[in-house]
Amino acid sequence: MAEPAEAALDAVAAQLGQAAAPSRCLATVRQLTGLFREARHREKATESVFQNLLQILRKGTSDIDVAGKDVSALAHLDDCLLLLSECFRCLRNACVQCTSNQNILRNLGLIDDSVHLIQLLRKLETDLESSLTAFRCSLQFLGNIATGNIDSQKRIWNLSVPFLFLDCLKHRDEKIVEYCCMILFTCLNPERTRELREENKLNLALAVLQAYRRYPESEWAFLIVTNHLLKCPELVKATYARLSNQERTMLLELVLSEINDKNSIVCKEMDTFLASCFQEKCQSVLQLASAANNENEEALVTLQLLDALCEMTSSDEHLEHLQACPYLLETAVSTLRLAHLSGKQTTNVFTAARSATAQEQVSHPAVGFKSHLIRLIANLCCRNKANQDKVYELDGIPLILDNCSIDDNNPFISQWAVYAIHNLTEQNERNQELISQMEQQGLADSSILEKAGLKVEKEDQKLILRSVRKTPDL
């Protein structure tokens, strides 16, 4: 005697095999969709049930193919599309946590037929809501048959990359974009992510980033970028070169969010790449001194790069690598000098100010630029004798001391300057001696030194900079 679950499936399967009219067939498939919501029914499903569903899909595919060639047939397509949508819902449910059903469906060719049908739906020129619904349901099915099933993922990848994914990612419907991202995320692994560097597939990585920019709340697009794209530095380099400045800013915001997420790892190979991008474009920020250039997109990207480098150098995982990065420290010091000089020559955003309104601070993109440069210099010199000496040779210590005053255009600049002086003088006698002489000549504010936990004393006619064991204010 058949078990209740098996008997229920047998009854519906018998009806499905006998149903000829679309309306009767639709009602039967709906019953099956409902049954497959329960694991006990999914586990009892037989291949014959899925063969019946496959026949319905193939008949629907044929009807859509005809309609695509004959506009007059579009008016009679609604019932067909409703039935196809329900078939995909049924198949979607059948795959939930059921590897055996996933394998049966793949072996029957359901993935191949579904991809072909999706291509037809994409090309179908109709405003029927039922067409959009069928498209969505087909993608949901592919997402479910791929979940946890390596063979299904491989088959979908081989059939869909790059063109089907590209078409779906650029679709006007947000849900289709989201479901496409779900499938893509499920199919990606390190090897396939590296494949995206290939010229014929690079547009797929770009399309994901563009989809995320269109739909910033998209969880799947976010996961593709953070869990896959950002873990492949070569791919980031290749896509970065092809992105617009606005898209670069968005990508860097994601990088920054990952750096700030202590449970996430941005690979160290990204350090050199981001540093080189900053070094190449850092002086573009100086153009923001002119009010006419405060929308300079290249400069806005550079500011985002600086933020990322500041956060990276605040992490032990990235600090040592960036401290050894060729010319990064020199670039930071020289850019600080140019910005400081620009602010002294004319009154602009780089001029030390004590009267900027809150609105001005918020609206100008270069607010905080000098502060961030000093923070980067401070971090790069932390417990690093070679970099401490390099700042001395670049005559950077007087420059930093000259930026110790409160500046409304650069919040916390005095605190970062204090921190920089602390890091520059820690176990570095030459730097200590220079600052001692500057204090004696009135070129260094003693209150700044006190905040850095330092004081100047005379000993045997020699000026000595001593630590008063105070942690610098940050």
* Cα three-residue angle 299-249-340, rounded to 5 degrees: 30
Same domain, 298 and 361: yes
For position 359, what pLDDT does the model report? 44
For position 105, what pLDDT does the model report? 98
Query: From CA 370, how far away is CA 410, in angstroms rounded?
Result: 6
Instruction: Say how many C-beta atoms besides its own lie within 10 A of residue 1's C-beta.
Output: 5
- Whether 367 maps to a domain, the answer reads yes
**Of residues 125, 117, 97, the one with CA closest to residue 160:** 117
H or E segment to which residue 179 belongs: helix 174-187
Q: What number of CA atoms fall less than 13 Å from residue 25's CA on the CB side?
A: 22
Same domain, 417 and 356: yes
* Cα three-residue angle 311-315-320, rounded to 5 degrees: 110
Locate 303 and state its tokens: 């500011």
Alpha carbon 184 to chain centroid, angstroms: 15
For position 128, what pLDDT does the model report? 83
For position 22, what pLDDT does the model report? 55
- Whether 458 maps to a domain, the answer reads no
Same domain, 220 and 316: no
Domain hosting 86: range is: 1-62+81-122+130-160
- Whether 401 maps to a domain, the answer reads yes
For position 414, what pLDDT does the model report? 87
For position 444, what pLDDT does the model report? 53
H or E segment to which residue 462 belongs: strand 462-467
Same domain, 153 and 186: no
For position 432, what pLDDT does the model report? 87
DSSP 136-177: HHHHHHHHHHHTT-HHHHHHHHHHHTTHHHHHHHT-S-HHHH
For position 358, what pLDDT does the model report? 43
Cβ–Cβ under 8 Å, residues 377 and 408: no
- Whether 252 maps to a domain, the answer reads no
Is the CA virtual torsion 31, 33, 34, 40 positive or negative? positive
Same domain, 149 and 190: no
Single-letter code of the amino acid located at 434: L
Same domain, 23 and 137: yes
Cis peptide before 398 (omega within 30 of 0): no
Same domain, 312 and 300: yes
Same domain, 354 and 398: yes
Overall pTM > 0.75: yes
Query: From CA 9, how far away is CA 17, in angstroms rounded?
Result: 12
- Token pair 């690093």 is found at 384
- Whether 315 maps to a domain, the answer reads yes
Q: Give the model confidence (pLDDT) of 409-441 as tens digits.
A: 999 898 899 899 999 999 999 998 888 887 665
The per-residue pLDDT of the chain, averaged, comes to: 87
For position 209, what pLDDT does the model report? 96
Cβ–Cβ under 8 Å, residues 329 and 393: no
Instruction: Say how many C-beta atoms besides its own lie within 10 A of residue 287's C-beta.
Output: 15
- Token pair 């700030």 is found at 260
Q: Which residues contact 75 (CB under 8 A, 6 or more apart)?
A: none
Same domain, 85 and 57: yes
- Whether 104 maps to a domain, the answer reads yes
Q: What is the largest CA-CA distance in the chain?
A: 108
Same domain, 143 and 188: no
What's the structural domain count of the chain?
3
DSSP secondary-structure letter at 290? S
**Of residues 196, 204, 193, 305, the one with CA closest to residue 248:** 305
Query: From CA 93, how far away is CA 143, in angstroms rounded?
Result: 11
Cβ–Cβ under 8 Å, residues 332 and 315: no
- Whether 430 maps to a domain, the answer reads no
Q: Give the model confidence (pLDDT) of 24-71 as tens digits.
A: 789 999 999 999 999 999 999 999 999 999 999 999 999 898 887 776
Query: From CA 309, how far away is CA 305, in angstroms rounded?
Result: 6
pLDDT string in tens for the chain (474-residue length): 345 556 667 677 667 755 555 567 899 999 999 999 999 999 999 999 999 999 999 999 998 988 877 766 666 788 899 999 999 999 999 999 999 999 999 999 999 999 999 999 998 877 789 999 999 999 999 999 999 999 999 999 999 999 999 999 999 999 999 999 999 999 999 999 999 999 999 999 999 999 999 999 999 999 999 999 999 999 999 999 999 999 999 999 998 888 887 655 667 788 899 999 999 999 999 988 886 666 788 999 999 999 999 999 998 889 999 999 989 999 999 999 999 999 999 999 899 887 655 444 456 888 999 999 999 999 999 999 999 999 999 999 999 998 888 888 999 898 899 899 999 999 999 998 888 887 665 545 556 556 655 554 555 544 445 555 555 544
Same domain, 278 and 406: yes
DSSP secondary-structure letter at 472? P
Query: From CA 220, how far away is CA 177, in angstroms rounded?
Result: 9
Instruction: Say how many C-beta atoms besides its own lie within 10 A of residue 116's C-beta.
Output: 17
Q: Give the model confidence (pLDDT) of 202-255 as tens digits.
A: 999 999 999 999 999 999 999 999 999 999 999 999 999 999 999 999 999 998
For residue 417, the domain's CATH number is 1.25.10
Same domain, 42 and 139: yes
- Whether 454 maps to a domain, the answer reads no
